[in-house]
Structure 1
């Protein structure tokens, strides 16, 4: 498996992002969907990485700069065909290590509260993330869980 900065113009990346968008639409009301679209992922304060193996796109993850000490994990997605292979853990480990290299002291994220997101919440808990209050403009939402960890 190889991690690299994402080619946001790649048709495979666009397909993975569309898969992510469809899953979010099926699991949460529109006002509780906080996934960045392609325009959001192109912002200067966001960097996106992808994981490939033998030419196949396995998943993606991003870091969004919030301030000098705080970044947010965005766009975490494992391609449906590659679930339960350690893709998300590999990407999460990379994002945590990158955030440390970038000098952030805190890393946070928002994920869903529904059963669909239970595997993601377990992944984050196993990586040291703990519940926190809404951050960076998020508001209390019964469909969202906010998590953070110090680096």
Structure 2
């Protein structure tokens, strides 16, 4: 299955629906104050780079990079269409995000994901990519519903910039 990853500059009905489904999917995983997924409008603000993966023209994966501090970004809104999970689309999006960050000279990428059973596959994917658990970062506070992870990136000059359309 071939995925085409594009930088998102504006909302589309299909992508809006995909991200609304992301929020609905997370409702059962933690209380509202412990869910940190950004609404679509916040994903389009300065300081956030939103990407969507498409197969046959329809969105099947999303991921974003949000500025935490200079040289430090956070992965946000990672989601794969539930019907297509386990086919490597999430790994492709993660690899793309990391290559994008590294090519722009970002030294560290962190993330917050859930601690519930629902998030076991996500945590396994991040661990396999080299992320390690860490404490809260940015504006996060310790939360039993959250797992915080981070990855130090290699020198930006060693990575080719990923191609976007």
TM-score bracket, shorter-length normalisation: over 0.9
- The verdict on how the C-alpha distance between 1:79 and 1:8 changes in structure 2, with shifts beyond 3 A counting, is farther
Counterpart in the other structure of 1:34? 36
Counterpart in the other structure of 1:124? 126
Most deviating of 20-29 and 106-115:
20-29
Query: Structure 1 residue runs of 4+, over 4 Å off?
Result: none
Q: Looking at both structures, which has the greater relative contact order when contacts are Cα pairs under 8 Å and sequence separation is at least 6?
A: 2
Counterpart in the other structure of 2:135? 133
Q: 1:7, CA displacement in angstroms? A: 4.8
Residues 9 and 44, structure 2, Cα contact 8 Å, conserved in 1:
no
| Selected match of 2:22 from 12, 20, 23 | 20
Structure 2 distance, partners of 1:79, 1:28, is: 20
What TM-score do you get using the length of structure 1 for normalisation?
A: 0.97
- Deviation per CA, 1:67-115: give whole Å up to 9, x if none: 2210000010001222111110000000000010111110000000000
Residues 130 and 151, structure 2, Cα contact 8 Å, conserved in 1:
yes
Most deviating of 91-100 and 65-74:
65-74
Counterpart in the other structure of 1:96? 98
Structure 1 distance, partners of 2:14, 2:57, is: 10
Q: CA RMSD in A?
A: 0.9
**Unpaired runs of at least 5, structure 2:** 154-165
SS of 2:139's equivalent in the other structure is coil
What TM-score do you get using the length of structure 2 for normalisation?
A: 0.89
Matches within 5 A, 1:46-57: 46-57=48-59
| Selected match of 1:83 from 77, 85, 99 | 85
- The verdict on how the C-alpha distance between 1:150 and 1:134 changes in structure 2, with shifts beyond 3 A counting, is same
SS of 1:93's equivalent in the other structure is helix
Most deviating of 40-49 and 116-125:
40-49
**Unpaired runs of at least 5, structure 1:** none
Structure 2 distance, partners of 1:11, 1:81, is: 19
